Structure 1
């Protein structure tokens, strides 16, 4: 009886221990999960916040995440944030360097099933093009992506945020060509995809509001724009410290007051906005502030302040223009390298196809030969005839194969044909679209930069401009500049108060004298005479 009791007690103890062990095993995953670091989406959200607080902090923080994270999706998101931080500083070459850092091909191949990687890579490239002022290329990439209806129906949060960013970029592209209706339409769609409750979605929503207000100002819907800007400033101040967003809002608020010819209040708005970022390296927006200060002080005839801010503007513009020019050259080389690699891949593919076809034909021929040799055993004469026939066929095929390979090589080595009528019409249409932008006002404008911005071969460009416009490249650009400044003088009263030296610099000319000479050769009168005529006509 005693042994039975002891056995029963031992069984109960064993059962207890087993249950306790199972309980610990069940809790183990929860314990491990509790020891993990913060979710990646929280870390990237913080990184994105820093982008609008201080680019230097953003770079340091994002690089530390990039080093420790091995996930390819995470890396591509972090690189884009880093790239944007350098672009905000005006360091376009470093921005492109970060974008161009690729993982090993094996890793990319293994992760190629991730559609998000492909989508975000395309978005990053469109963003790079836009930073460098290559708006047509940016627009083309985004239009191609947004044709995918399945993508637009995605419910994945990171996909939706990326789609929202694409629509925002496209809105900016339309805004550059003054198609404000399409720009506003794209911003509305962008907002519809910003359904997340993180800081990134909030910041993008504020940006969309500011962009919308800027396009409303350009359409002279001033009060609606001001109300929107006041809302953003109030919301941002309530939600946290985002100096870039506040500065961006005040920059556009100054445009509202400038449009109302309240130059003193416009200057106060600029001072408030600049104070937010004065000690931060946001050079891409600082240059806009300096230019707007210059315009307002010119309108107030305050020469001292005008010269002060004009010097700041000129120095920073020279630096950023140089960086942008280097960036354009860099991205052109990247595209050329990509196209060259793509061409080599296609060439190798063709060679493999020809080789595979040759092997199939050879096996087919050998099969036929073997069959006829077997049959020809019955007759020596038939065997000789078949052998001779097959040798002739093999020789002909070999000659044809060599000829086809030679012809392919000759075709690849042929010179580029002259511009066809269809190509000429396509180039003229692209030039027409490009003329809607103000890229021709850049001092560094050259035929190679125009080629990069329009994606047209420089030879074709030169030929079409000469044959269709009846002028060389320099004359073509100078006429666009003079037409633009003449239109502004007629339609914007503020420009009548500006000095000719400022008009020359604004138009992209290297000197006051060069501007005056070109202006007179095109309009038949000097800039001063032209301005006096406009003032006289307005009074009468």
Structure 2
């Protein structure tokens, strides 16, 4: 390959006579022309850099290092990003420095070092947010959206990606398609499968229209993942399988692991664990080789642990338990550090930078002093209003939390259910029977099972959905969904009080503990029941325990 030859070749110490006096544009054009001929291309690469050094042309030198970076193996790419940053510092231009930081962050992201990538994206944002380079500003937004999506902030990622799609659509085909692909993935992660399918189909069509066939497998993989969530497992398998070879050829181990994960999950959902396991093992092999995993990949380890438990294979159980612990430790560090950084240093800093920009405009345009003072005052009032809203929200959370604690210490007498309460179109005998079954079902904690539906429960009680929903509404004063969710949340709060170890569990682990299929469902149900976010509640009870200890 080109970069192997480049690495082995000795750097030029002098520009060849035939290239002396040639312009940067000429060298750049010849480099592009000979990009498939490693020997000739290397000559133009080094000549470009030497010419830039001799002329002290730091802008050209930065571009030369960038060209060298793109033709180098991954293990030495950071060396050229360091040279880019140093050179950009000499230019003393915020756009040049922002571009260098962004490139360094992108190299770290390709190496799956997400914390370092985020650090340099934030540095790039600090430089570029006050510049007029719309292309680079949107490039930062795209890369930050990738981090936001990785952390689970899908709504925020979607907002950034929609801006990028709109900006790049008629300007840059490949950035447009990359942004569209990332947008489709975010829609899938949010559970908006209709928009995900529409976005994926648009991407597949536009890859062909814009003649960018190398991105086609990624849209097809994204579409296959969406089909999995729609429970179209056969379509998911067919779609994903044809993407594996081109993704492997691209050296993209992250998407290779993703493809294997969803193939395994599809076969597992079809009741074919023996077929699924080799795909799960492929995901685990990538984790061992590349130290790469994702939050959703942890599910395969719980499936494998349970599978080998049924086979009485303690050795494989232990192996996958150890792997799961390693991954949780890795992800905890990534998510804890980055989640803090992305909010403290990006979201907040962007507002502060916008404020500074208004202040600079005030200094530069004294003629419009009144207008700018009014703008600054308006901005201050907005910040003040947002701060007040945040303060009131926290105050309300505190009040709601105290009310919860008071209710725990002073439980109200449970109202006796009237077994013979009249319900239209239902005989008293049926009412009594269903209420008795419902009370026993609650007492036995059957509500902790996942995937509880009104129809399944009605079948279990040997009745129909109409009667069961009327009983729940009449005796529990709730619709079916609220009734199930509230039972789970009440049980979770009781367990958190009884067993402090649960307070250290992740949201995902707590969701699984009480039968929620996703963290989003858990947090939404908890807020609806308690009027307090789950993370806030956990923090408060932990602080209370620490003080009492």
TM-score, normalised on structure 2?
A: 0.54
How far did residue 251 of structure 1 move?
1.4
Partner of 2:33: none
Q: Distance in 2 between matches of 1:295 and 1:144?
A: 39
- Against the structure 1 CA distance between its residues 307 and 46, is the aligned structure 2 distance closer, same or farther, given a 3 Å change threshold? farther
String of CA shifts for 1:102-152, please: whole Å, max 9, x gaps. Answer: 4996x987x73x43212212212222222222212111222344445xx42
Note if contact 2:268-2:276 (Cα within 8 Å) is conserved in structure 1. yes
How far did residue 170 of structure 1 move?
1.5
How far did residue 465 of structure 1 move?
9.4
Note if contact 1:164-1:194 (Cα within 8 Å) is conserved in structure 2. yes
Partner of 1:95: 117
- Against the structure 1 CA distance between its residues 272 and 116, is the aligned structure 2 distance closer, same or farther, given a 3 Å change threshold? same
Note the 1:487-498 alignment, pairs <5 A: 487-488=450-451
Q: Distance in 1 between matches of 2:338 and 2:20?
A: 56
Partner of 2:106: 81
- Against the structure 1 CA distance between its residues 283 and 408, is the aligned structure 2 distance closer, same or farther, given a 3 Å change threshold? closer
> In structure 2, which of residues 302, 311, 319 is the aligned counterpart of residue 294 of structure 1?
302
- Against the structure 1 CA distance between its residues 289 and 31, is the aligned structure 2 distance closer, same or farther, given a 3 Å change threshold? closer
The yes-or-no answer on 1:163 pairing with 2:176 is: yes
Question: Which gives a bigger RCO, structure 1 or 2 (Cα 8 Å, sep 6+)?
Answer: 1
String of CA shifts for 1:357-384, please: whole Å, max 9, x gaps. Answer: 589xxxxxxxxxxxxxxxxxxxxxxxxx
Partner of 1:152: 169
Partner of 1:216: 227
Q: Distance in 1 between matches of 2:166 and 2:82?
A: 32
How far did residue 217 of structure 1 move?
1.2
The yes-or-no answer on 1:253 pairing with 2:263 is: yes
Note if contact 1:139-1:170 (Cα within 8 Å) is conserved in structure 2. yes
Note the 1:520-539 alignment, pairs <5 A: none
The yes-or-no answer on 1:267 pairing with 2:277 is: yes
Partner of 2:236: 225
Partner of 1:310: 321
How far did residue 260 of structure 1 move?
0.7
Partner of 2:195: 182
Give 3-state SS (helix, strand or coil) of 1:279's partner: helix
- Against the structure 1 CA distance between its residues 341 and 25, is the aligned structure 2 distance closer, same or farther, given a 3 Å change threshold? closer
The yes-or-no answer on 1:124 pairing with 2:136 is: no
Note if contact 1:291-1:313 (Cα within 8 Å) is conserved in structure 2. no
Note the 1:344-359 alignment, pairs <5 A: 344-347=356-359, 349=361
Note if contact 1:267-1:293 (Cα within 8 Å) is conserved in structure 2. no
Note if contact 1:257-1:263 (Cα within 8 Å) is conserved in structure 2. yes
> In structure 1, which of residues 248, 259, 280 is the aligned counterpart of residue 290 of structure 2?
280
- Against the structure 1 CA distance between its residues 327 and 309, is the aligned structure 2 distance closer, same or farther, given a 3 Å change threshold? same
Note if contact 2:161-2:179 (Cα within 8 Å) is conserved in structure 1. yes
Give 3-state SS (helix, strand or coil) of 1:312's partner: helix
Q: Distance in 1 between matches of 2:65 and 2:223?
A: 29
- Against the structure 1 CA distance between its residues 509 and 144, is the aligned structure 2 distance closer, same or farther, given a 3 Å change threshold? same
TM-score, normalised on structure 1?
A: 0.55
Partner of 1:60: 76
Q: Distance in 2 between matches of 1:250 and 1:508?
A: 24
Q: Distance in 2 between matches of 1:345 and 1:483?
A: 58
Aligned length: 374
Note the 1:384-395 alignment, pairs <5 A: none
Q: Distance in 1 between matches of 2:182 and 2:195?
A: 12
How far did residue 275 of structure 1 move?
3.1
String of CA shifts for 1:406-462, please: whole Å, max 9, x gaps. Answer: x9999699676865xxxxxxxxxxxxxxxxxxxxxxxxxxxxxxxxxxxxx374266
Please identify, of 69-78 and 138-147, the stretch whose mean Cα deviation from structure 2 is larger. Answer: 69-78
Give 3-state SS (helix, strand or coil) of 1:327's partner: helix
Segments of 5+ residues of structure 1 without an aligned counterpart are 1-23, 51-56, 360-400, 420-456, 476-481, 494-499, 523-540
Note if contact 1:123-1:166 (Cα within 8 Å) is conserved in structure 2. yes
Note if contact 1:164-1:191 (Cα within 8 Å) is conserved in structure 2. no
Segments of 5+ residues of structure 2 without an aligned counterpart are 1-17, 31-42, 49-61, 89-94, 409-444, 457-494, 517-521, 530-549
How far did residue 298 of structure 1 move?
1.0
> In structure 2, which of residues 387, 396, 403 is the aligned counterpart of residue 463 of structure 1?
396
Note if contact 2:181-2:219 (Cα within 8 Å) is conserved in structure 1. yes
- Against the structure 1 CA distance between its residues 352 and 215, is the aligned structure 2 distance closer, same or farther, given a 3 Å change threshold? same
Note the 1:332-411 alignment, pairs <5 A: 332-334=343-345, 335-347=347-359, 349=361
String of CA shifts for 1:35-69, please: whole Å, max 9, x gaps. Answer: 5229999998997899xxxxxx6363244255257
RMSD of aligned residue pairs (Cα, Å)? 5.3
String of CA shifts for 1:167-187, please: whole Å, max 9, x gaps. Answer: 122112211221111112112
- Against the structure 1 CA distance between its residues 37 and 196, is the aligned structure 2 distance closer, same or farther, given a 3 Å change threshold? farther
